[in-house]
């Protein structure tokens, strides 16, 4: 019965990835919405790192007696890994198209940021699934509360992820498919935790890697776009960025349940 609850809860969280397509369905409004949600996404990524992930890593490492320096090395390694991955993918994908100019008008170069987003968010969703499963294994009511907290936490995240995939050059259908595939990692995390229990050290390593990816994507890919001189919507960008920070801070401040990863 507990496994059924875990699967239903993690599947419900995963289906939040579909929320993005409803906002971007109408082409008439999709560009304006994307401008706003890209700013929101930057704030959500940074807010997740500084309001949630880093405090959790520090708190757990102290509580469990882990060496925090190990996690800082993992975070730096994550940033370096995503940097080299993006450089390689950008060179490989876009250079290939430049060598075949006759296809330049038919194919669009997809920014490798999209792949980095999917990897980082996949790890984050895996951790969410582990948290939900661990909560249900302690108490069903606690599992429901944890799922609610993660749902509130994931709504702006999923909207932001979908807009970033569109910004990276994915079509709406491909963005929807890959965002859903990444979100379903929560189900896998929940099932694995149910059968193999929870390893605090491994979970912190995954959190650290995800935090590094979020930092890299926000600072390297999104911020330069927001500073683009051709972008005239700077006022709305600032507003949505601040809204995103306030939203993530509020969720992490008021929806925290002990050791539950929200």
Identify the band that residue 260 occupies on the pLDDT scale cut at 50, 70 and 90: very low
Could you read off the pLDDT of 236-253 as tens digits, one per residue?
A: 888 888 998 998 888 777
Range of the domain at 218: 2-20+38-101+125-254
How far apart CA 147 and CA 260 sit, in angstroms, is: 10
Looking at the 3D structure of the chain, how many domains does it have?
A: 1
Q: What is the pTM of this model?
A: 0.67
Residue 119 falls inside a structural domain: no
**Residue located via tokens 């935790």:** 193
Could you read off the pLDDT of 186-245 as tens digits, one per residue?
A: 999 999 888 886 677 887 888 888 888 888 878 887 787 777 656 566 778 888 889 989
How far apart CA 19 and CA 40 sit, in angstroms, is: 15
Residue 91 falls inside a structural domain: yes
- Distances, alpha carbon 212 to alpha carbons 45, 173, 216, in Å: 10, 28, 6
Residue 32 falls inside a structural domain: no
Residue 151 falls inside a structural domain: yes
Between 172 and 62, where is the model more confident? Answer: 62
How far apart CA 197 and CA 2 sit, in angstroms, is: 13
**Residue located via tokens 């708190």:** 59
pLDDT of residue 10: 92
Residue 262 falls inside a structural domain: no
Identify the band that residue 184 occupies on the pLDDT scale cut at 50, 70 and 90: very high
Residues in the chain: 262
Measure CA of the first residue to CA of the last residue in the chain; give whole Å. Answer: 23
Closest by CA position to 4, among listed 132, 93, 150: 132
Could you read off the pLDDT of 54-84 as tens digits, one per residue?
A: 998 999 899 888 988 999 999 999 899 878 8
Contact 40, 241 (CB under 8 A): yes
Residue 168 falls inside a structural domain: yes
Residue 67 falls inside a structural domain: yes
Residue 224 falls inside a structural domain: yes
């Amino acid at each position: 019965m507990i496994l059924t609850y875990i699967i239903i809860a993690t599947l419900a969280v995963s289906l939040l990835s579909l929320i993005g397509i409803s906002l971007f369905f109408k082409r008439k409004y999709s560009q304006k919405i994307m401008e706003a949600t890209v700013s929101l996404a930057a704030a959500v990524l940074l807010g997740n790192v500084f309001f949630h992930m880093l405090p959790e890593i520090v708190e757990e490492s102290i509580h469990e007696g882990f060496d925090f320096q190990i996690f800082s090395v993992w975070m730096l390694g994550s940033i370096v890994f995503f940097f080299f991955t993006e450089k390689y993918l950008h060179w490989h994908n876009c250079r290939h198209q430049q060598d075949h100019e006759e296809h330049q008008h038919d194919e669009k170069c997809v920014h490798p940021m999209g792949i980095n987003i999917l990897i980082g968010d996949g790890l984050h969703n895996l951790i969410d699934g582990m948290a939900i499963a661990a909560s249900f294994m302690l108490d069903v009511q606690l599992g429901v509360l944890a799922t609610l907290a993660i749902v509130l936490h994931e709504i702006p995240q999923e909207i932001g992820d979908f807009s970033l995939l569109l910004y990276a050059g994915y079509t709406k259908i491909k963005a929807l498919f890959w965002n859903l595939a990444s979100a379903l990692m929560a189900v896998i995390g929940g099932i694995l935790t149910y059968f193999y229990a929870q390893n605090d050290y491994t979970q912190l390593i995954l959190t650290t890697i995800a935090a590094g990816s979020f930092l890299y994507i926000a600072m390297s890919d999104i911020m330069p776009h927001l500073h683009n001189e051709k972008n005239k919507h700077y006022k709305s960008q600032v507003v949505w960025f601040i809204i995103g920070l306030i939203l993530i801070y509020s969720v992490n401040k008021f929806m925290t349940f002990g050791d539950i990863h929200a």
